[in-house]
Structure 1
């Protein structure tokens, strides 16, 4: 397990990159033939739907992870409550033996009768009665008092967790419906495209910025290796997943979404990354893109909705989108918001 702190982004020249992107995009749009506009519009709408589905997928992943955590916490709390109740029952039995002995001797002392009032606090608050029981009995009663207080507190906390779990389950279901709706609409639009254009849609990026960012300085990194053994192990794991399908909400081993692939790969290196790309953005130290090394997490778009792993030679390994397998793509396939070194 690795521990991470949130670091402030060191940043890089987003303004220059954005200007380059906008200029190139404007030039490219001017070159689009009029007859191509309908199909271009369809592709752009599919891109948008995929991006929205990915955002919903990350929300689904987060809600499902929280639900899993709450289920474990509730289960542990219920087990502890059961043990605490057994402890209380045992204490009452021990204290009850005192009452039984006194009854057989000819009656129950009023002090002992208080044991069965259901309110040990009332008993202990009456200091005048404490001289009627032994120090051992007083200690047992105080232990019972403490156990009852702890049990009441644990039951209250568990009730709150159960309510949160119910809300989290509903959030999971809502995000799942959103993802499925977006993906179904995207697939319907893709089916409207001619076969050749539909086949060509499996490109590197779902962004109009594809391939237009100036990343020439990355040529200096072609021979750079992973910064440490853990990063190297994560890269090796990611490479072993090449060709496996994108499956939204999945974190391996047979399928992955983008953040699930990063989490699975780094788990093989002994580091537990958070589940979503938004959280993975802060799971280490931010570095400039020009200093990227294999194993670094490349976070895309301003919403941090997509993540890939830098693999060297100006490429990332990532799970792109539904219908595409885990693969290599150019690191500049879409706008980069930050680079994180776990």
Structure 2
């Protein structure tokens, strides 16, 4: 029987097998090269590297604004949760005061030779149980009924507060997960950009850093603040000039570093005007204006996704926080694709 058993087939044995393995590995390498990071192509010119880095920074800034929005919502949710928990604590303290009052009644009953069953239930370790009987308050005396009614109300309100707090906690965890996703997206883009920049020479990196642009070489500018039309706008412009030279840091709102919307928010906050946190909400926070109407202090927005913002200072110039590795600076608004403008009110 064993002599007639078929020999196990090994389709990739011998020279044919080695050839197949070689081809498979080559194919896998091709797929990896196709699916790999943007900087896998060694033939990119310095100009192409800079263009890819610009695009990655644009994408990172869009992710940063989503991160800023998620962080703002998470902070609001946490504040709401804290308020609910604080209120539940205050209500619980009031409940304990009411239970102490029942204790006084119980002591009086004990001294008089008896303890009402309703009071016994109310003083139990599970006070909710004494409320299950609909006729409880009727069976208690007048003083007991009033105190028990108060406890009934407090327990119901505490229960509602705790339920709302539980919902807020679920919401907060979802916000925190969203925050982590956006943070990871930002970091990936920045890491990819840095790997590309590492392929440039030190001189080329210095030239790129000096541009301060997301796209285009930019034009050096000089001069002091342009006179703004109103005192608040003038204060915002003055703040922006004072921030020149401070580093970009994603998610930062000052005073030592800024991202783009963090800078505009801080500038207008110094003038007594509260702006929302993100570019895509700031553009709708004031009166929308056309490019021909621009005046110092206006907010100017860029890219189709409204992912970058600067503070217009006149003469076709803005002050903005450009990108990682570049300090807050003045730049022409023609440096990036213009998307719109708004005037805070």
Moved more, 304-313 or 109-118: 109-118
Query: Partners in 2 of 1:76 and 1:170 — Cα distance?
Result: 22
Contact (CA 8 Å) 1:81, 1:154: kept in 2 or not?
A: yes
CA distance in 2, matches of 1:69, 1:85: 24
1:199 is matched with 206
* Aligned counterpart in structure 2 of residue 115 of structure 1, from 115, 122, 125: 122
What 5-or-longer segments of structure 1 have no aligned partner? 1-35, 212-222
Q: Is the 8 A contact 2:212 2:323 kept in 1?
A: no
SS, match of residue 246 in structure 1 = coil
* CA distance, structure 2, for counterparts of residue 83 and residue 198 of structure 1: 59
Mean Cα deviation higher: 190-199 or 49-58: 190-199
TM-score by length of structure 1 reads 0.78
* Match 1:305 to one of 295, 304, 307: 307
Matched, 1:81 2:88: yes
Distance 2:166 2:321 in 1: 39
Deviation sequence 1:69-117 (CA, Å, 0-9, x none) = 2333222322222221111111011023223322332222344445345
Measured on the aligned residues, the alpha-carbon RMSD in Å equals 2.5
Q: What residue in structure 2 maps to residue 250 of structure 1?
A: 252
Partner residue in 2 for 1:17: none
Residue 115 and residue 151 in structure 1: after superposition, are their counterparts in 2 closer, same or farther (change >3 A)?
A: same
Structure 1 residue 144, shift from structure 2 partner: 1.3
**2:327 counterpart SS class:** coil
Q: Which moved more, 1:240-249 or 1:154-163?
A: 154-163
Aligned counterparts of 2:161 and 2:260: Cα–Cα separation in 1:
38
**Structure 1 residue aligned with 2:9:** none
**Alignment partner of 1:66 is 2:70:** no
Q: From the superposition, tell whether residues 177 and 283 of structure 1 become closer, same or farther in structure 2 (CA, over 3 Å).
A: same
* Distance change (3 Å), C-alpha of 1:156 and 1:137: same
1:102 and 2:109 aligned:
yes
In the TM superposition, 1:215-226 aligns within 5 A as 225-226=227-228
* Residue equivalent to 2:38: none
Q: Which has the higher contact order (CA 8 A, sep 6+)?
A: 1
**Count of paired positions:** 293
Moved runs in structure 1, 4+ residues, more than 4 A?
208-211
CA contact (8 A) 1:204 1:333 kept: no
Q: Does the C-alpha gap of structure 1 residues 224 and 289 become closer, same or farther in structure 2, counting only changes over 3 Å?
A: farther
1:271 corresponds to:
273
